[in-house]
């Protein structure tokens, strides 16, 4: 077995490419173990035998393997970026409307909302993302354009856009999100129309990006808020630390403990099979493989991240 380096900064280009190559080979032996999500019909159409992984370093270097340039539906990975926009706009006021505790419940659960009086547990469950979407809608003159511009600047890809088929599929099958948004609204915790909030939420979830785009897009969280691609200070160092902490405790829902145990990095998953992860002070990471585990996280993506932190010694623990 490869010995983890004493100092992660000693990892050179050759080591990282070698490690990605090994992971790619291992993962491809296991295609078919996950399950495609069928509650959003258009996401069930994606071929399951796909795996990509990309690393984005603060000096602009990219390491990538497999299907790292195949675009996919980023789904809940988008919640990292709307959280960043909401925190930039309202700062700690956000935490009066959404908590920052792990939920221990599935991403689409409503169960805590009633006894916690319409304050969602964290910004990464669907309920919390709806409140965050509401804050973004109220804070920016054109929230949709702001988000698109943000993603294009972070990824350096001016082609980043949304997938209308996925957005429509979500609108037609999103009964639970509709219920959730109305329930939160009944507690006075949404300022905008339920339809406007849901529309923005479906738009963010339907963004199409690839592993290289997304590794670049989270890299600011690995470099004290500085985005290497656009040379912009996206958030403060403290902001990046805070977002990473919420990703660690809630980014993979009721599997956050399991992720800390097997992966050991702040991470955010989406039902499109993507997972972004942050190696604080070192790099942004994205993995993608469409088959999910029973918690709605990419099964092989989680495995790839596990192997990555074990082979590089880059777990935060
Ligand atoms: O609202 C939904 O259910 C989806 N648009 C997003 C859920 C999601 O990605 C959960 N992540 N694992």
- Is residue 297 a contact partner of residue 255, using CB atoms and an 8 Å limit? yes
- Is residue 132 a contact partner of residue 123, using CB atoms and an 8 Å limit? yes
Dihedral of the CA atoms 280, 253, 256, 316 (nearest 10)?
0
Angle between helices 78-90 and 194-205 (to 10 degrees): 130
Domains of the chain and any CATH numbers: 8-312 (3.40.710.10)
Mutate to test the pocket of ligand 1, among 76, 163, 171, 269 (most ligand atoms within 8 A of CB): 76
Q: Collect all residues with Cβ–Cβ distance below 8 Å to 104 and sequence separation of at least 6.
A: 254
The closest-lying atom of ligand 1 relative to the alpha carbon of residue 174 is 1
202 is annotated as contributing to ligand binding = no
Question: What is the residue-level pLDDT of the chain in tens, covering all 317 positions?
Answer: 445 544 556 777 779 999 999 999 999 999 999 999 988 888 898 999 999 999 999 999 999 999 999 999 999 999 999 999 999 999 999 999 999 999 999 999 999 999 999 999 999 999 999 999 999 999 999 999 999 999 999 999 999 999 999 999 999 999 999 999 999 999 999 999 999 999 999 999 999 999 999 999 999 999 999 999 999 999 999 999 999 999 999 999 999 999 999 999 999 999 999 999 999 999 999 999 999 999 999 999 999 999 999 999 999 99
d(CA 291, CA 312): 25
Report CA(270)–ligand 1 centroid distance (Å): 6
- Which DSSP helix (H) or strand (E) runs through 63? strand 62-66
Report CA(280)–ligand 1 centroid distance (Å): 25
186 is annotated as contributing to ligand binding = no
Q: Which ranges of 54-110 does DSSP label H, i.e. alpha helix? A: 78-90
């Amino acid at each position: 077995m490869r010995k983890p380096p004493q100092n992660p900064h000693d990892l050179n280009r050759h080591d990282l490419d070698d490690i990605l190559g090994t992971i790619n080979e291992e993962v491809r032996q296991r295609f078919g173990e996950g399950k495609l999500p069928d509650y959003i019909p258009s996401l069930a159409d994606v071929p399951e035998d796909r795996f990509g992984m990309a690393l984005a370093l603060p000096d602009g270097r990219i390491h990538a393997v497999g299907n790292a340039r195949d675009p996919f539906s980023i789904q809940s990975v988008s919640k990292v970026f709307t959280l960043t926009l909401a925190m930039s706009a309202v700062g700690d006021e956000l935490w009066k409307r959404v908590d920052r505790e792990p939920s221990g419940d599935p991403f689409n659960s409503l169960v805590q909302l009633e006894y916690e009086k319409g304050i969602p547990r964290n910004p990464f469950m669907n309920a919390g993302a709806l409140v965050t979407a509401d804050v973004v809608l109220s804070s920016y003159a054109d929230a949709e354009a702001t988000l698109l511009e943000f993603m294009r600047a972070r990824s350096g890809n001016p082609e980043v856009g949304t997938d209308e088929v996925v957005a429509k599929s979500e609108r037609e099958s999103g009964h639970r999100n509709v219920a959730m948004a109305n329930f939160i609204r009944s507690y006075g915790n949404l300022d905008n129309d339920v339809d406007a909030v849901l529309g923005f939420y479906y738009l963010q979830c339907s963004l199409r990006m690839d592993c290289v785009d997304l590794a670049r897009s989270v890299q600011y969280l690995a470099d004290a808020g500085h985005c290497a691609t656009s040379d912009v200070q996206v958030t403060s160092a403290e902001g990046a630390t805070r977002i990473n902490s919420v990703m660690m405790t809630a980014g993979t829902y009721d599997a956050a403990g399991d992720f800390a145990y097997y992966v050991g990095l702040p991470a955010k998953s989406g039902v499109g099979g993507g997972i972004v992860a942050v190696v604080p002070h070192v790099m942004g990471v994205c993995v993608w493989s469409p088959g999910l585990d029973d918690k709605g996280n990419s099964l092989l993506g989680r495995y790839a991240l596990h192997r990555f932190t074990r082979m590089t010694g880059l777990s935060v623990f």
